[in-house]
Structure 1
Amino acid sequence: MTVIHHQDARRTETPNAVMTTFASPTQGGSDQALWQVEMAADARGPVHDMDAEQVWTVVEGSGRVVVGDEEWALGVGDTAVLDAGTTRQIVAGPTGLVAIVAGRGGAIASGPGRDPVVPPWIS
């Protein structure tokens, strides 16, 4: 068993959000990754896809997931299951978005004009 104390959570800031890693392969040795995403009002994440499924649950605020020409609104308590290989963009609502996200640790993100990479919050 591994315990990762709150003060040991890893925080990663990007231009679009702040991710706090609770568990991942390099933080607690789990095959899974669990993190929190905090986005400011109307912030837009990059258009990207992952090579593994992710599960997003909104705990504060609201937002939407854009996949191609479709979009789904998300509010507190809503959960989105994003399939591997789904090109998506996460957009925060007018009061921001806080979500808890789970997915395979070490999953690879890619997108238009970007080299594939394992995001640091899930490594």
Structure 2
Amino acid sequence: MPVIRHAEARRTETPNAVMTTYASPTQGSTGLALWRVDMRAGGTGPLHAMDVEQVWTLLTGSATVDLAEGPVTVAAGDTLVLPADTARQFTTADGFAAVVAGPSPAHAYNPDAVTPEGACAMAPRDAERVLPAWIA
């Protein structure tokens, strides 16, 4: 049974947040990713969707998540279950920390990209999908 020591947690910094990977297919797990997101005060993440379900639990702070059905505000202790292919954008006034879990591989894509002519209407509308480093 693998043990991933605190010192072995992988950190990935983006312009929007710092992700700390606790487990992923390249770090002790075969099909599940578990990571922490720390977003600074005043942060706004990119509009994106994931092709898998994810579960977010806020540890500190609060965030507004813009979803197709409208904005949802979550605070420390709240858990947000985001189904696969749900467009979302996180913003925070005061910053937040969250732990996130979901199957891996998981790919992010732009839900506003134009569907190529003749593509299946149910397929993601972006030809490019990205496997985020903290999920790999």
With the shorter chain as reference, the TM-score category is over 0.9
SS in 1 for 2:134: helix
Using the TM superposition, give the Cα deviation of residue 65 of structure 1 relative to its aligned residue in structure 2, in angstroms.
1.0
**Which has the greater radius of gyration?**
2
Write out aligned runs for 1:83-122 (5 A): 83-92=83-92, 94-111=93-110, 112=112, 115-122=128-135
State the TM-score, normalizing by the size of structure 1. Answer: 0.94
Q: Which residue of 2 aligns with 1:72?
A: 72
Amino acid at match of 2:64: R
Are the equivalent residues in 2 in contact too, given 1:23–1:30 (CA < 8 A)?
A: no
Question: Size of the alignment, in residue pairs?
Answer: 122
Structure 1: how far apart are the matches of 2:46 and 2:54? Answer: 16
Q: Which residue of 1 aligns with 2:117?
A: none
State the TM-score, normalizing by the size of structure 2. Answer: 0.85
Using the TM superposition, give the Cα deviation of residue 87 of structure 1 relative to its aligned residue in structure 2, in angstroms.
0.7
Where does structure 1 differ by over 2 angstroms across 4 or more consecutive aligned residues?
A: 112-115
Structure 1: how far apart are the matches of 2:39 and 2:29? Answer: 27
Structure 1: how far apart are the matches of 2:29 and 2:60? Answer: 28
Using the TM superposition, give the Cα deviation of residue 33 of structure 1 relative to its aligned residue in structure 2, in angstroms.
0.3
Q: Which residue of 1 aligns with 2:56?
A: 56
Are the equivalent residues in 2 in contact too, given 1:44–1:89 (CA < 8 A)?
A: yes
- Residue identity over aligned pairs, in percent, reads 51
Using the TM superposition, give the Cα deviation of residue 69 of structure 1 relative to its aligned residue in structure 2, in angstroms.
5.3
Amino acid at match of 2:81: V
Q: Which has the higher strand share?
A: 1
Amino acid at match of 1:103: G
